[in-house]
């Protein structure tokens, strides 16, 4: 078991009270597993990703444990987490485009980063060159400034940097969203390559694009309003979704050949609830076409088929 998250709660402090962005989330990620984490904006997926590596000043760890390779991750303790970041847990941030220091040549930037973590750059240099080749970058990029690279090249460079020390867990936050379709495909395949070559053990790919995550993930987690709605192996989640929210998310995706004039696709009416004071019971209740009296109680997250978990009273 590579990653184990148990009843994790991380809230944001705001002037108007605490926003329960992550409110009791439990799941496991196996060694070598590539998990897609999907949901609408504001469902808590980026908060979950950030919580596993660095809580920012507004975030507060309220409850729950995280275990990586059998060791507890002290996510509430910024100082102690320093020993895990980059080496055990690493992230490709949402805006990889602007993640690199513009005033440094890329080679120097990488060297400084390694030294700050007590690594000797010379010891990693050969591996760095191999990794560049792996993602299709020339060694010359190390002598360039970030601004001299295209968006797709920057994205791949950040992927090389983030995974250079072979972290056990890689969090990729919306890494493909800002890219063109062909670059998107190359970046997605690079993520698979990093996993297949055992550079990283497990990967969490955060995205709102279900059709992309369907291409490369082994399993998919769907989040809604700070909680897990459904988790299943990729094919099961897409072919036999059990949660009404998952079904509606899938139905909102344009399929090949569907045209407005012939068949009108449906969005999900309404919007996610405010997490300042979230409603009791199932949080999807107000938007759910299947809601009934029982939904006033919070549904548990239960296994309904092998490795297929869902939090919906109608699915049990």
Partner 1 sequence: MLRLDGVTKRYRVGTFGSRELVAVRDVSLEVRPGEVVALIGQSGSGKSTIGRMILHLTSVSEGTISFDGADIAGFKGSRLRAYYADVQGVFQDPFSSYNPIFRADRTLEVLRETWFPRLGERAWRDKVEAALEAVRLDPGQVLGKYPHQLSGGQLQRLLVARALLLDIRLLVADEIISMLDASTRIDVLNLLGDLKARGLGILFITHDLSLGNYLSDTAVILHRGQVVETGPAERVFARPQHPYTRSLLASVPHLHHKWERPAVPEPAGESG
The contact set with partner 1 (CB under 8 A) reads 40-42, 127, 130, 151, 166, 180-185, 188-189, 192-193, 196-199, 208-212, 214-215, 238-239, 248-250, 252-261, 264-268, 271
| Closest to partner 1 by CB, 109 or 212 | 212
In angstroms, give the least distance from the CB of 100 to partner 1: 19
Dist CA 131 CA 200 (whole Å):
12
Nearer to partner 1, 30 or 192 (CB): 192
Buried-exposed string 124-150: b where 16+ CB fall within 10 A, e elsewhere: beeebeebbebbebeeebbeebbeebe
Give least dist CB 71 to partner 1, A. 20
When the beta carbons of 238 and 290 are compared against partner 1, the nearer one is: 238
CB of 6 to partner 1, least distance (A): 29
Rounded to the nearest whole angstrom, what is the least distance from the CB of residue 90 to partner 1 in the complex? 16
**In the complex, minimum distance from the CB of residue 217 to partner 1, in angstroms, rounded to a whole number:** 11
- Residues 178 and 170: their CA atoms lie apart, in Å, by 19
Which of 252, 304 has the CB closer to partner 1? 252
Q: Shortest Cβ distance from residue 38 to partner 1 (Å)?
A: 9
Residue 204 burial by Cβ neighbours in a 10 Å radius (0-12, 13-18, 19+)? buried
**Which C-beta is closer to partner 1: that of 252 or that of 302?**
252
Calpha distance 37→43 (Å, rounded): 10
**In angstroms, what is the minimal distance from the CB of 149 to partner 1?**
13
Tell me the closest approach of the beta carbon of residue 267 to partner 1, in angstroms.
Answer: 4
Nearer to partner 1, 66 or 221 (CB): 221
Closest to partner 1 by CB, 78 vs 254, is 254
Specify burial of residue 257 (Cβ count, 10 A radius: 0-12, 13-18, 19+): exposed
What span, in angstroms and rounded, lies between the C-alpha atoms of 189 and 215?
9
The rounded distance, in Å, linking the Cα atoms of 287 and 145 is 48
| Residues facing 220 on adjacent strands | 36, 232
Q: Do 232 and 219 form a contact (C-beta atoms < 8 A)?
A: yes
Composition of the chain by helix, strand, coil, percent to 5: 35, 25, 40
Q: How far apart are CA 227 and CA 236, in angstroms?
A: 20
Nearer to partner 1, 256 or 293 (CB): 256
φ/ψ (deg, to 5) at 296: -70, -15
Please report, for the chain, how many H helices and E strands are present, in that order. 9, 12
């Amino acid at each position: 078991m590579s990653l184990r998250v148990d009843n994790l709660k991380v809230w944001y402090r705001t002037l108007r009270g605490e926003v329960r962005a992550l409110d009791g989330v439990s799941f496991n990620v196996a060694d070598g597993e590539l998990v897609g984490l999907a949901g609408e904006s504001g469902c808590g997926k980026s908060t979950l990703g950030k919580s596993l590596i660095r809580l920012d000043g507004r975030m507060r760890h309220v409850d729950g444990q995280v275990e990586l390779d059998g060791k507890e991750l002290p996510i509430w303790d910024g100082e102690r987490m320093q020993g895990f970041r980059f080496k055990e847990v690493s992230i490709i941030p949402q805006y990889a485009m602007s993640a690199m220091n513009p005033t440094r040549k890329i080679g120097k930037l990488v060297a400084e980063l390694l030294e700050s973590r007590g690594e000797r750059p010379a010891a990693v240099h050969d591996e760095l060159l191999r990794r560049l080749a792996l993602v299709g970058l020339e060694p010359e990029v190390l002598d360039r400034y970030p601004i001299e690279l295209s968006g797709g090249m920057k994205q791949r460079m950040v992927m090389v940097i983030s995974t250079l020390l072979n972290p056990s867990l890689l969090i990729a936050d919306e890494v493909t969203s800002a890219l063109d379709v062909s670059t998107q495909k190359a970046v997605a395949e690079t993520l698979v390559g990093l996993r297949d070559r055992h550079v990283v053990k497990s990967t969490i790919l955060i995205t709102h694009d279900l059709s992309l995550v369907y291409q490369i993930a082994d399993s998919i987690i769907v989040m809604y309003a700070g909680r897990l709605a459904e988790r299943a192996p990729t094919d099961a989640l897409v072919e036999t979704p059990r949660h009404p929210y998952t079904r509606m998310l899938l139905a909102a995706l344009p399929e090949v050949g569907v045209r407005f004039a012939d068949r009108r696709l449906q969005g999900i009416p309404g919007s996610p609830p405010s997490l300042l004071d979230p409603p009791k019971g199932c949080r999807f209740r107000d938007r759910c076409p299947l809601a009934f009296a029982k939904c006033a109680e919070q549904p548990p997250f239960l296994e309904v088929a092998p490795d297929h978990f869902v939090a919906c009273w109608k699915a049990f």
